[in-house]
Structure 1
Amino acid sequence: MRHLLGLLAALLLLGAAAPPDEPATLIHGARVFDGTGSPARVRDVLIRGDRIVKVGQRLRVQDATVIDGAGMTLIPGLHDLHIHTRRDAFTSPEVLAKGYAAYLASGVTSVNEYSIAPDTIAPVRGFGALTPHLSLAIRLGVPHGHGTEYDYTNAITAQVTTPEQARAAMARLLPLRPDVIKVFADGWRYGRDIDRPNIDLPTLTEIVKAAHAQGVPVVTHTVTLDGAKLAARAGVDALVHGIGDAPADRELIRLMKRGGTAYVPTLAVYEPQEDRKFLPAEWARLQPDDLEREEKRMGQPIAAIAAYDAKRWRIMQENVRILHRAGIPIGIGTDTGIGGVYQGLAAIREIRLLTTLGFTPAQALRAATSVSARIMGQQRGHGRIAKGMRADLVLVAGRPDERIEDLYAVRRVWVSGREVPLR
């Protein structure tokens, strides 16, 4: 906990100062998991500025700061494809920096942010602290649909019901330069509440067409089999929730492959509370207010909907297995910001959950790095350790590509070549 508070203070100080000219950094003798699927090998990695400039053996650089990586594993920074910051984050730089510190402390160096108003995109990009790389979203949905609750007005979630309205909304919103479009396409409320309206195929297709014309990916809140098929028909880039009402079938797999649609199941937010047992390493990373909340929750009676939630959970787990076996790209996202899903920590938990569903530790790490970057069309910038890639790197004690729990042992983090002070 002390090192997280120290990191928060350091981030604010780092962000306030002009970045100095950075000398070279040589990470020497670490096992390098490069994110490509190749086995980890002992290598040296040279960083200069914000880029990886060389990966090799027995590198010698006179002006470099040398980091001893012996006995540790160097991995690409993790990319969480589904987060929400707290609602007051944009009125309080301290609160915003606190959340970003938690991501960085867990090795998450890139995030997709889905809870900002369109007119805050430019100010957030100018936020004066060292942060994960932010892919900022513009949100669209239908009137009274999911994504319009909780005071998310039309100013935050643009509401459209026809292709013409979608076209006009995209013409208005795309000049704000979002990194991603999120569409609340599916109104199923999991059997807990009255279902909300769904978007129709022509309207969603128009959104995708306009976004793709500008090179902007589109993801959807999609939680049903029918909703997933509609989104895949429209050609969205990813479904950023798990399908929980029915098993994935051959038609869905065919549509996803044809449309190039990936799957981001956000298991961490759907894991039943009675199954959500924290490891000691996870307890140690909880912030005080989160720790108090978890202690109060422990031992509380499970609501009557627990059996239904358990059934949905089994379906979601099986759908990860089905789509993984079918070769559908699967990335990681957490829905951080929802109760019990904690910043940074949840990304590691999401990776761990994948290893219970047919992924090897190495495959799960690849999902969290190079696959997630590719889903966003950012594979040329990050997600792998190779010459020319952005120097978003995490040095971990142990072998997380063989034992995923070692991922909790983050020792050093670099974002665009700048080391994040963890203590």
Structure 2
Amino acid sequence: MHLETVLRDAAPYALGTLVRRYGQFDACEDAVQEALFAAATSWPTDGIPDSPRAWLTTVADRRLTDSWRSESARRRRELAVVGAEPPGDAEVSDEDDTLRLIFLCCHPALSAPSQLALTLRAVGGLTTAEIASAFLVPEATMAQRISRAKQSIRTAGARFVLPDATDRSQRLVVVLQVLYLIFNEGYAARSGDSLQRSDLTAEAIRITRMLLRLQPDEGEVAGLLALMLLTDARSSARETDDGGLVPLAEQRRDLWDSDAISEGVALLSRTLGRGLVGPYQLQAAIAAVHDEASSDEATDWRQILALYDVLERVAPSPVVTLNRAVALARVAGPRAGLALLGTLDGDARIATSHRLDAVRAHLLERAGDLAEARDAYNRAARAALNRQEQAYLLAQAARVGAALP
């Protein structure tokens, strides 16, 4: 098993054990991060221990108690808590604390960016540097964000227990949103040189699988996992050999992961009809229609449009309207899609995104308005932060421009 995979599996168990033992999430999380660094340094040379979870827990426990003992002002109080003798090997519990950790990291006292960063670090096992790189901020900035998030949890008096049924239902919405954001950042990286980051998509899928095992009756958890699987199934066909973007219509479908598609469809089939249908289940249903079509031309766009109509009623957003415009254009023609896109002009929620002009350019090209399409492709390229998307949009602008009379 890969070293990073072992570490990411062991980290939540170690953190959960320490938090249940000592109750101080911020200090325990810092200790586990130190232990992860020690493991990443020593294991490649010494080998992975027989019990990675116990090793990580023991090292983190020692770092934690050593830290407490070094603070003279708190010495007496902390020694009373942890005992005067150096700890022996820590016993790691087999209890899976992942769900408790996820809900704690998504505490309502935290902002959405802080919830996302803390979940990636405490549950996902990513380093502060990795998280900072994913979101294009300096490592020091991300460290401060995480530190403030942990302090906010402590100030709020959050306890390491599952919320009650009412609070859990409300907080689950945030948990799913955080996992969805992690996956999207991996599948379509907002910036940088690479089109996608498989480490983030894999981590989002791994954590969502855990959440589904712990919350098997939550239809939207199953819907989110299905959506991730059905979307990630196309990842190997989304890039050229040199990392360039391949749009959905041009992808080689024989490269799609049929096992992931089958699992996603099966999850969705078990979920739909069991209760109220939420936005993740609807998005998964749309992804399934795409994945089960033998080609772009064979795709049932009327069904996709109908699903987007429902999704826009259930969870309206500019992104849903944008995607619905694409489906509408395939059913009723590009002018109909352009008219719907026009309703997003001036919407601040999508004003800074390149996607509006990218979709507009595509529909203008289909409508035969090549000069306007070229200009829209160029505007989208200027707004795009991901270099592969920039390159693709500039190439489209040049291609359309070359076709002008």
Return the TM-score normalized by structure 1. Answer: 0.29
Whose relative contact order is higher, 1 or 2, with alpha carbons under 8 Å and at least 6 apart?
1
Say which structure is richer in helix: 2
Return the TM-score normalized by structure 2. Answer: 0.30
Say which structure is richer in strand: 1
